[in-house]
Amino acid sequence: MSRRLHPRVTQAIAKTLLWAFTGLTLLILLFIIVNISIKGLPQVTSSFLLQDPQDMGRHGGIFSTIVSTAYITLLAIILASPLGVGTAIYLTEYTREGWATRIIRFGAECLAGVPSIILGLFGFVLFVLKLGFGWSILSGGLTLAIMVLPIIIRTSEEAIKAVPQEYRQVCCSLGMSQWQTITRIVLPSALPGITTGIMLSVGRSLGETAVLLFTAGSALRMPTSLFDSGRTMAVHFYILAREGISMPNAYGTAAILMVSILLINLAAYTLMQRMMRRFS
Amino acid sequence: MDRGKFVERVLFLLALSSISSLVIITIFIFEEGLPLIFHTGLKDFIFSSHWAPTKGHFGIAAMIISSILVTLGAMVLGVPLGLACAIVLAEFCSERLRGLLKPTLELLAGIPSVVYGFLGVIWLVPLIRNYLGGPGLSLLAAAVILGIMILPTVISISIDALTAVPDVYRDGSIALGATQWQTVHRVVLPAASSGIITAVILGMGRAVGETMAVIMVAGNALKIPTSILDPVRTLTSNIALELGYAAGRHREALFATGIVLFVIIMILNLSATLLARRK
């Protein structure tokens, strides 16, 4: 039979191991960020950003992919924001917990768990084939809107719930209608939180590949209408890396993608923290 | 109709958007994939590993097994690492340090999956090829990359579960003379267990559903792996690799693959939701 270690010794061993694991995780994160930045950022020049790709992306920059990314993301946000914020208002201000809220929450939770390849399949069959939009900015934006909807619902709900109840009571005592209370007081107070949700959605859209490969396609031309196919930066990076077209350009694209997503997420996080601190 | 009622109706319709999207997605995936499952037979589709779309053979057993193995591998790496981070952040570090570390670790969630896949190809695959043998593109590579990718999910949900344990539990245990680690190990972890299991299940869901990173590092070979160094093709990569050019029965077979994936994910998510609700 082995001797039992003194609890203090066990504790020391456990703490060392746990901190080592945490350190390892932080190192992995650091490695990813530093590696992509060091190899990628030197590639990022103004001509890289402002020139269209040439020769399948072997030469030139990534301008048309930035434009496609912007169009698709913008479309997804414009479509998903009213739906998401509306859902959040309904859930927090208009109903008590019951079967209706349970179904709505269940839907949002499940939707958040649907993997992007399934969304890609769905967008491909409904928007690209059945509705005849083809591989296009429109199909990509519509499918992405469904993908980011749960993010907007969850963050907006959290933000609206954080607005103190007294605000509503004061409005009520002043004789304001419920709708006036929501549009003049609750939504403006919750705006930083709602913006956070939208920013997180932009971050998620920038990095998405599987959905867009099958809905927006991979044409490198500059899109001129909603029905044009458009290759986003993430899809462009995937194709450059996978087909080994140009490693420098792949690193450059990855660096821009990663840095912008990290900055957006960081800003979103700070905004939410600041709002929560104001109300608590 | 008065204005308040009208607004409520409109908002209710908006609120139905998420559940109706879910229903429409389910209908379309099943509508496209079910005909093939009926045609091939559910048993042959799931239990045969003969996949030759041009010759009319649609068996996805090898991919189901690969998906399961890759996911289990990811859990072996991701759960201890993630849980360790969560315990350190929730129990062993100062408020200030937690305020710094938590958002930093959440950054992992923002890194796009293609970037994980790319770094996997550049760094991990050569390491495996040179030191362990085989082609490098392998089950092991996919499991390691996925293990890292599920960290944010495991960490953030486990932290929530740990911080939800009331402080009186900790105080009581410390007052009885237990060390901090004994308290965490014997009191806090058991109390938070259902939340931690939820975190693990959601991490699994994320690993099963991940596509782009897996395609890049797993090697995509069509066979049942016999070693962790064998290249594998998962359910997700099968869909993504072939959807671009598939037509007719072949395309239906990819949607049928999607059905299997969808069902697995829904079972995982549902059990996570039920477990979280029981709390």
Which residue range forms the structural domain that includes residue A275?
A: 46-279
pTM greater than 0.90 (yes/no): yes
Contact residues on chain B for A178, CB-CB shorter than 8 A: 4
Q: B118–A250: do the CB atoms touch at under 8 Å? A: yes
Rg (C-alpha) for chain B, rounded Å, is 22
The CATH number of whichever domain residue A245 belongs to comes to: 1.10.3720.10
Q: What are A54's strand-pairing partners?
A: A59
The CATH number of whichever domain residue B241 belongs to comes to: 1.10.3720.10
**Is B203 within a domain?**
yes
A51 and A38 in a common domain: no
Residue A90 at interface with chain B, using a CB cutoff of 8 Å: yes
Cβ-Cβ contacts under 8 Å for B5 (sequence gap 6 or more): none
Is it the case that residue A145 has pLDDT exceeding 90?
Answer: yes
A26 and A55 in a common domain: no
* Mean pLDDT, all residues of chain B: 93
Is it the case that residue A1 has pLDDT exceeding 70?
Answer: no
Least confident of A51-60, A61-70, B169-178, B216-225: A51-60
Token pair for B40:
């091939």
Contact residues on chain A for B182, CB-CB shorter than 8 A: 7, 10-11
CB A34 within 8 A of CB A252: no
Contact residues on chain A for B201, CB-CB shorter than 8 A: none
A105 and A19 in a common domain: no
**Is B165 within a domain?**
yes
C-alpha B242: how far from chain center: 22
pLDDT digits (tens, 9 = 90+) for A74-114: 999 999 999 999 999 999 988 888 888 889 998 999 999 99
Q: A118–B107: do the CB atoms touch at under 8 Å? A: no
Q: Which of residues 176-235 of A touch B (CB under 8 A)?
A: 177-179, 203, 206-210, 213-214, 234
Q: B212–A100: do the CB atoms touch at under 8 Å? A: no
- Residue B50 DSSP code: -
**Is A205 within a domain?**
yes
Number of domains in chain A: 2
CA distance B90 to A251: 36
pLDDT digits (tens, 9 = 90+) for B170-216: 999 999 999 999 999 999 999 999 999 999 999 999 999 999 999 99
Contact residues on chain B for A18, CB-CB shorter than 8 A: 84, 87-88, 92
Return the H-helix or E-strand segment holding B277.
Answer: helix B248-278
**Is B33 within a domain?**
no
A115 and A34 in a common domain: no
A137 and A36 in a common domain: no
CA distance A132 to A124: 10
CA B4 → CA A94, B1, B8, B179, distances in Å? 10, 8, 6, 58
Q: Is the dihedral of CA B193, B157, A190, A140 positive or negative?
A: negative
Question: Within a 10 A sphere around the Cβ of A24, how many other Cβ atoms?
Answer: 13
A90 and A37 in a common domain: no
pLDDT digits (tens, 9 = 90+) for A25-50: 999 999 999 999 999 999 999 999 99
Helix B193-209 to helix A99-113 angle, to the nearest 10 degrees? Answer: 50
A197 and A106 in a common domain: yes
A227 and A121 in a common domain: yes
> How close B48 comes to chain A (CA, Å)?
23
Half-sphere exposure of A66 (CA within 13 A, CB side): 17
> How close B3 comes to chain A (CA, Å)?
9
> How close B118 comes to chain A (CA, Å)?
7
Which among A14, A108, A261 has the least Cβ separation from residue B181?
A: A14
Is it the case that residue B125 has pLDDT exceeding 90?
Answer: yes
Percent of chain B predicted with pLDDT > 90? 83
CA distance A130 to A122: 11
**Is A248 within a domain?**
yes
A214 and A159 in a common domain: yes
> How close A219 comes to chain B (CA, Å)?
14
pLDDT mean over A209-216: 94
Q: What are A59's strand-pairing partners?
A: A54
Residue A254's Cβ-count burial label (10 Å; 0-12, 13-18, 19+) is buried
Nearest residue on chain A to B264, alpha-carbon basis: A114
**Is A1 within a domain?**
no
Helix, strand, or coil (residue A208): coil
Which residue range forms the structural domain that includes residue B151?
A: 61-278
Which among A113, A238, A261 has the least Cβ separation from residue B110?
A: A261
**Is A2 within a domain?**
no
Contact residues on chain A for B270, CB-CB shorter than 8 A: 110
CA distance B168 to B249: 61
Helix, strand, or coil (residue B232): strand
A234 and A98 in a common domain: yes
**Is A210 within a domain?**
yes
Number of domains in chain B: 1
A11 and A138 in a common domain: no
**Is A135 within a domain?**
yes
A151 and A83 in a common domain: yes
Which among B84, B180, B240 has the least Cβ separation from residue A22?
A: B84
> How close B154 comes to chain A (CA, Å)?
12
Output the pLDDT for position A278.
86
Residue A11 at interface with chain B, using a CB cutoff of 8 Å: yes
**Is A99 within a domain?**
yes
pLDDT digits (tens, 9 = 90+) for A175-194: 888 888 999 999 999 999 99
Is it the case that residue A244 has pLDDT exceeding 90?
Answer: no
Helix ranges (H only) for chain A are 7-40, 46-50, 63-89, 99-113, 116-123, 137-162, 165-173, 178-180, 187-207, 210-215, 233-242, 247-279
Token pair for B179:
């060390």
